Amino acid sequence: MTLTSQQAEGLPPELRITPPASLRIGAVIGESNGWQNFLAWDKRRQCDVALIVPAAGRRNNRPFVEERLARAGATLKLRHPGIVAVLDTGDGDNPYIVEEIVEGPSLRDVLEDQGWLEPRDALAIAAQIARALDFAHARK
C-alpha cells in the first residue's frame, strides 16, 4: 500500500500522517522509543528510506519530539559506515525524520536471539562503535 495523504485508506487513525511530498509511504516496519517507523520510497533519491514519525501518543509532546529532531539534525551531514545516515528532518505539525535503510538484525535482536556474543565478536562490534563515536565527536 502506498500512502499519499493523511486520509490514506487502510491505516488506523492513530497512524495516519501527512508524508513529505517526495515520499511514498509503505508498510509499518517497527516502533522504537516512541517513534513509528515506515518503509518509504524516496522519489528524489530513487531508493527505499525509513520515515520515522512520533507515535500517536507522543506527537503532541513537544519536548520529546524536539529533542529527537535536534539529535537527528546534528547528524544530518555525518557520513560514516557505522552511523545511520539521516537524510532529512521536518518539524511543525508534521514532524518526521528520514533515514537510510539498514539491512540486517540490530545488535539488540542478536543479543535477544543468542543471549551473548563470542568475545572476539563483542570486541569487533565495540571497535566499530568506537570508530563511529570518534568520527562523530571529531566533527561536533
User: Number of structural domains, the chain?
Assistant: 2
User: Residue 21 has which C-alpha cell?
Assistant: 511530498
Same domain, 110 and 91: no
Distance of CA 87 to the CA centre of its chain: 10
List Cβ neighbours of 44 (8 Å cut-off, separation of 6 or more).
Answer: 22
Same domain, 95 and 119: no
User: Residue 49 has which C-alpha cell?
Assistant: 528510506
Same domain, 99 and 120: no
CATH number for 39:
3.30.200.20
Is 139's pLDDT higher than 80? yes
pLDDT digits over 72-90, tens only?
999 998 999 999 999 999 9
Is 111's pLDDT higher than 50? yes
Same domain, 1 and 53: yes
pLDDT higher for 54 or 14?
54
Same domain, 33 and 58: yes
Same domain, 83 and 110: no
Same domain, 97 and 108: no
- Average pLDDT of the residues of the chain: 86
DSSP-assigned beta bridge partners for residue 83: 80
pLDDT higher for 114 or 3?
114
Closest CA to 51 of 82, 18, 10: 18
List the domain range (segments joined by +) for residue 99. 1-103
Same domain, 95 and 115: no
Is 78 in contact with 135 (CB distance < 8 Å)? Answer: yes
pLDDT at 14: 54
User: Residue 121 has which C-alpha cell?
Assistant: 565478536
Edge-to-edge strand ranges of the sheet holding 47-54: 23-32, 35-42, 47-54, 96-100, 86-90
